[in-house]
């Protein structure tokens, strides 16, 4: 039997395995954005502030980012399927705890901590399993297209679905919805088989995990402190940077001693992968930063309801859905680098629309063109960026690069909410000015992603240079 025939025969079973993986990425991305339209409802119900809700959202994204590398590394020791199932279980417990939260502290425990830990365990296996199950570049690109598209749709549809649930029932029901989807994913994932058996004897770099997580947490904490005390902000960022420098020194010393390190420094020797990681970080920063700023502005300043805010975000959801569905056809016609560049130009244009058109129009639908362009742009480039990074390394390094890739993407989401959100929240006394400043910052960071994409090479070339 020819290889093509084998691939065709395996296609149905692979598609069945892909469905729960894509749904897992959807629900985790949904969790990162659906709370944006609940800001007023949660703050009133739990007797907290807009800043308190922002901290809860940011901490969820931060816990994901901080633990994603350790989560990816644990897949070698515990097994990819086991980590996936364990992460789903922890996530479900966190969602249900959030649904009954009596105050902000319990909400942070359930949503920010438990859901964050669960996501950090379940997301790396999604990308590792996809890379291992889909061997050729084209089928892998299609699989990543579905998963990344579902992630983008989850993030963009979060405000819409969350808004409807919050208005029709209560914001607490949105967390019950997440738990129900997780149960469905567990049932659908029963057919997934781990391609490689786990190795319980494989050592785990605990010190490296602590240093990497601590460095990220301290830096983001510094950003969140910017609206209260700039000196504390600068101090925390400096300390966090030193901790991360210490982390890199630690893993380098582990490698020199021929010991297992949390992360191989060889991952950073691949130029194409490094640039791809930058584009991933910036894409999610722009998506989550824009989502939080626009949602908070509409609710706090214009006093829109959760459902009205969510409906406005339909434009972004539609944009991501359309471009994600066209991802396969676009991948056949254009190079991955070209798609990423087009995506950044479209997304930055959308942010500029939000900056200038919305400022001069009281009509809520003035937000639609900008959000549509942002959705279209992100949908075009999410898949190529992931594929460029994952395809740059052999199967033996997939657990590490998957953890690093998801860490960088979720760090982008965290920074987007922290940076743009802090600018907006700190200037709510002059909302129009702070909104404009936040949008300018997001667009400027988008130019950094565009610049990185200019120097990208095709994944085919990258894979031949992987070490």
pLDDT in tens, 252-311: 999 999 998 988 888 888 999 999 999 999 999 999 899 889 988 888 888 888 888 888
**pLDDT, average across residues 129-138:** 77
Angle at 462 between CA 460 and CA 466, to 5 degrees: 125
pLDDT over 90 percentage in the chain: 43
> What single-letter DSSP state applies at residue 268?
G
pLDDT the model gives residue 236: 94
- Condensed to tens digits (0 to 9), the pLDDT of residues 320-332 reads 888 877 877 787 7
Predicted confidence (pLDDT) at residue 316 exceeds the cutoff of 50: yes
Q: Whole-angstrom Cα distance, residue 393 to residue 270?
A: 9
Per-residue CA distances from 5 to 9, 129, 380 (Å): 6, 22, 30
Non-local (6+) Cβ contacts of 430 within 8 A are none
pLDDT at 11: 60
What is the per-residue pLDDT across 425-453, written as a single tens digit (0 to 9) for each? Answer: 776 667 778 888 999 999 999 999 999 99
- Weakest mean pLDDT among 389-393, 397-401, 402-406: 397-401
> How far apart, in whole angstroms, are the C-alpha atoms of residue 215 and residue 209?
10
Going by C-alpha positions, the residue among 185, 159, 169, 168 that lies closest to residue 18 is: 185
Mean pLDDT value across residues 229-246: 92
Residue 94 to residue 424: CA distance in whole angstroms:
28
CB 321 within 8 A of CB 315: no
- Stretch 164-170: mean pLDDT: 93
Spell out the SS3 assignment of 226-250. Answer: HHCCHHHHHHHHHHHHHHHHHHHHH
DSSP annotation of 201: T
Mean pLDDT of the chain: 86
Residue 10 has pLDDT above 50, yes or no: no
pLDDT value of position 2: 43
The ranges assigned to domains in the chain are 19-193+262-465, 205-261
Span 242-248, mean pLDDT?
A: 96
Read off the pLDDT of residues 59-101 as tens digits, 9 standing for 90 and up.
998 898 889 889 888 988 999 999 999 999 999 999 999 999 9
Give the mean model confidence (pLDDT) for residues 340-356. Answer: 94
Please compute the mean of the pLDDT values over residues 146-166 and round it to a whole number. Answer: 85
Query: Among the ranges 121-125, 329-333, 393-397, which has the highest mean pLDDT value?
Result: 121-125
What is the spatial distance between Cα 274 and Cα 362, in angstroms, rounded to a whole number?
42
What pLDDT, on a 0 to 100 scale, did the predictor assign at position 107?
Answer: 96
Per-residue pLDDT at 4: 44
Q: How far, in Å, CA of 75 to CA of 400, rounded?
A: 9
Judge whether 209 and 72 are in contact, CB under 8 Å: no
DSSP 8-state code for residue 263? S
Q: Count Cα neighbours of 195 within 13 Å in the Cβ-side half-sphere.
A: 17
Residues 196-236 pLDDT 10s = 888 888 889 999 999 999 999 999 888 888 777 788 989 99
Separation between Cα atoms, residue 366 and residue 194, nearest integer Å:
48
- Per DSSP, the three-state class of 12 is helix
CATH superfamily label, 19-193+262-465:
MFS general substrate transporter like domains (1.20.1250.20)
Residue 361 φ then ψ, to 5°: -135, 125
| Residues 17-53: tens digit of each pLDDT | 899 999 999 999 899 888 988 988 999 999 998 889 9
| Residue in this structure with the two tokens 């722009």, named with its chain if needed | 286
Closest CA to 68 of 117, 19, 28: 117
Mention every residue, 6+ apart, whose C-beta is less than 8 A from residue 58.
220, 224, 414, 417, 418, 421
Structure tokens at 119: 């996501």
- Alpha carbons within 13 A on the beta-carbon side of 365: 0
Nearby residues of 75 by Cβ (< 8 Å), 6 or more positions away: 83, 124, 125, 128, 198, 399, 402
Phi, psi of 428 (to 5 degrees): -65, -15
**Rounded to 5 degrees, what angle do the CA atoms 72, 117, 320 make?**
80
Mean pLDDT of 331-345: 91
Band of pLDDT at residue 365, cut at 50, 70 and 90 = confident
| Cβ contacts of 429 within 8 Å, gap of 6 or more | none
């Amino acid at each position: 039997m020819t290889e093509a025939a084998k691939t065709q025969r395996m296609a149905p079973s692979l598609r069945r395995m892909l469905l729960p993986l894509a749904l897992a990425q959807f629900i985790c991305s949904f969790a990162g954005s659906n709370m944006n339209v609940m800001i007023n409802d949660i703050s009133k119900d739990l007797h907290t502030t807009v800043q308190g809700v922002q901290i809860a959202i940011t901490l969820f994204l931060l816990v994901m980012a901080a633990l994603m590398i350790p989560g990816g590394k644990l897949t070698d020791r515990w097994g990819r399927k086991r980590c996936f199932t364990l992460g789903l279980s922890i996530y479900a417990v966190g969602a249900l705890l959030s649904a009954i939260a009596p105050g902000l502290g319990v909400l942070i425990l359930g949503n920010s901590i438990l859901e964050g830990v669960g996501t950090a365990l379940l997301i790396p296996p999604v990308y590792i399993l996809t890379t291992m199950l889909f061997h050729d570049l084209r089928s892998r690109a299609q699989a990543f297209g579905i998963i990344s598209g579902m992630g983008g749709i989850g993030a963009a549809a979060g405000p819409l679905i969350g808004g409807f649930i919050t208005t029709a029932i209560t914001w607490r029901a949105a967390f019950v919805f997440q738990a129900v989807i997780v149960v469905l994913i567990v049932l659908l994932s029963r057919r997934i088989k781990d391609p490689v058996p786990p190795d319980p004897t494989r050592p785990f770099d605990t010190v490296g995990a602590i240093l990497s997580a601590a460095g990220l947490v301290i830096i983001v904490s510094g950003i969140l402190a910017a609206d209260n005390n700039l000196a504390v902000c600068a101090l925390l960022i400096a300390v966090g940077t030193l901790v991360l420098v210490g982390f890199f020194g630690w893993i380098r010393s582990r490698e020199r001693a021929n010991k297992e390190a949390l992360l191989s420094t060889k991952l950073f020797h691949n130029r194409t992968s490094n640039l791809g990681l930058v584009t991933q970080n910036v894409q999610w920063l722009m998506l989550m930063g824009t989502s939080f700023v626009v949602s908070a502005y509409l609710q706090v300043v214009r006093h829109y309801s959760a459902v009205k805010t969510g409906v406005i975000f339909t434009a972004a959801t539609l944009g991501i859905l359309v471009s994600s569905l066209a991802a396969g056809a676009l991948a056949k016609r254009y190079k991955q680098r070209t798609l990423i560049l087009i995506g950044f130009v479209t997304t930055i244009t959308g942010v500029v629309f939000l900056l200038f058109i919305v400022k001069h129009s009281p009509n809520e639908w003035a937000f639609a063109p900008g959000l549509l362009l942002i959705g279209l742009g992100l949908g075009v480039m999410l898949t190529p960026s992931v594929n460029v990074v994952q395809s740059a390394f052999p199967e033996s390094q997939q657990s590490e690069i998957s953890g690093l890739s998801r860490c960088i993407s979720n760090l982008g989401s965290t920074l987007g909410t922290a940076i743009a959100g802090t600018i907006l929240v700190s200037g709510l006394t002059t909302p129009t000015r702070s909104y404009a400043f936040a949008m300018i910052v997001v667009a400027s960071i988008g130019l950094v992603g565009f610049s990185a994409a200019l120097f990208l090479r095709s994944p085919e070339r990258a894979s031949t240079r992987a070490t």
